[in-house]
Amino acid sequence: MKLTGIELRRVRMPLVAPFRTSFGVEHDRDILLVRAVTDEAEGWGECVAMADPLYSSEYVEAAADVLRRYLIPALAARPPADATAVGPTLHRFKGHRMAKAALETAVLDAELRAGRRSLARELGAVRDRVPAGVSVGIMDSVDELLSDVEGYLDEGYLRIKLKIQPGWDVEPVRAVRERFGDDVLLQVDANTAYTLGDVALLAALDPFGLLLIEQPLDEEDVLGHAALARQVRTPICLDESIVSARAAADAIRLGACQIVNVKPGRVGGYLEAKRIHDVCAAHGVPVWCGGMLETGIGRAANVALAALPNFTLPGDTSASGRYYRTDLTEPFVLDDGHLAVPDGFGIGVAPVPEILAEMTTSLEWLPLA
């Protein structure tokens, strides 16, 4: 495989409705796409960094900058023989996992397309479709929340995740349980909004039979999560704290989590995500695939990952229509609560040229040869 160039493309995607979490509200997505062109094929990667450094320290403008100034020149100076060499080549640059993930995924997609292999098969998928959950943002009222949850259940989603924060936690969870019953798979996501001083409040969620509480404390407070896990019955799931397979192993050993959310962008790519899956499987810790409001490009790769054997809980692999009226690719559509795993070469999808052109706000070509 010979890399000939990398394209950095920014697209702006309006959301079907504002999405509110404990760290802010999103009305649209400024998305950085990476296209890797080789002498045999081209591949796509999607950077999941947000416009502002709120979910993590990364943000889209910084991702574009580090790709342009450091990561892509590093590949030009030391061309990778295959996608497995991308990570080691970029390792000397600290952090910037979301940017690295987008670049590695684009190279991996190109390699697999040239080799006529699918990402799902390459990662070790064991299913041809995966159960889909949906993430429900913080609302202005409980009535609004119940209306949205009812709509998602009617669409067939198999699991509901409620975003929570102090002041919006026990009441909405109770309301959803009372309205829709105990059979609904329900979990909550705090996005680091609490402290260990909120143990009593978080323990008040125990009676509602939640699958898990996701990332209640600060991402660096792994010991705090271990202490919290000893004081609440609901399983603790880590998200922002898990940045690598080593971090996952350490958190499990400390008792900081019973479940892990795997987000490929957060951990540096799908190859590292596979390693996290393997570490968790070896320790008997189930995993599920988180989402970052991806377009069909990122969603296709996430669905392939979620088809691995230890992904035993429904993930945030929602249908395209959950976030976008028009996706960049052919839309992912819910079928009996599941999404089909793409079986084409590479990630199995490609942008629709007319839609991609319409959504593009900037374009930059960086030759490597």
Residues pairing with 41 in the sheet: none
Instruction: Determine, yes or no, domain membership for 133.
Output: yes
78, 144: one domain: no
| Structure token digits, residue 123 | 């990662």
Residue 58: domain span: 3-116+351-367
The pLDDT value recorded for residue 76 is 95
Report the distance separating Cα 74 and Cα 94, nearest Å: 13
Cβ-based neighbours of 363, under 8 Å, separated by 6 or more:
7, 8, 9, 10
Do 124 and 273 share a domain, yes or no?
yes
Q: How far apart are CA 105 and CA 86, in angstroms?
A: 9
Q: Say yes or no: 195 and 89 in one domain.
A: no
> What is the C-alpha to C-alpha distance for residues 263 and 192, in angstroms, rounded to an integer?
16
Same domain, 8 and 46: yes
Instruction: Tell me: do 54 and 190 sit in the same domain.
Output: no
147 shares a domain with 207 = yes
pTM: 0.95
Check which CATH number belongs to the domain holding 332 and give it.
3.20.20.120
Measured N-to-C along each axis, helices 142-155 and 170-180 cross at an angle, to the nearest 10 degrees, of 50
Catalytic residues: 163, 263
% of the chain surpassing 90 pLDDT: 94
Is beta strand 24-38 parallel, antiparallel or unpaired with respect to 42-47? antiparallel
Beta strands 287-289 and 360-367, pairing class: unpaired
Whether residue 191 is found in the same domain as residue 223: yes
Same domain, 256 and 133: yes
Say how many domains are in the chain. 2
pLDDT exceeds 90 at position 26 = no
Backbone angles phi, psi at 140, to 5 degrees: -80, -20
Query: 24-38 and 133-136: which strand pairing?
Result: unpaired
The Cα–Cα gap between 211 and 213 comes to 7
CB atoms within 10 A of CB 94: 5
Q: What is the pLDDT of residues 106-155, one digit of tens each?
A: 999 999 999 999 999 999 999 999 999 999 999 999 999 999 999 999 99
The verdict on residue 346 lying in a domain is: no
DSSP three-state, residue 365: strand
How far apart are alpha carbons 205 and 44 in whole angstroms? 41
In this prediction, residue 182 carries a pLDDT of 96
Same domain, 98 and 205: no
User: Which residues have C-beta within 8 Å of that of residue 215, sequence separation ≥ 6?
Assistant: 189, 190, 191, 192, 237, 238, 239, 240, 241, 261
* Average pLDDT of the segment spanning 232-253: 98
If asked whether residues 181 and 94 sit together in one domain, one would say: no
Asked whether residue 345 is domain-assigned, the answer is no
Mean pLDDT of 232-251: 98
Written as six digits, the tokens of 251 are: 């958190």
HSE, side-chain direction, 13 A CA sphere, residue 364: 13
In a domain, 335, yes or no: yes
- Examine the domain organization and report whether 203 and 317 are in the same domain: yes
Find the DSSP H helices in the chain: 60-66, 72-77, 86-90, 97-114, 119-123, 142-155, 170-180, 199-203, 222-229, 245-254, 264-267, 270-282, 296-306, 353-359
Structure tokens at 315: 């993930």
The whole-number pLDDT of residue 151 equals 97
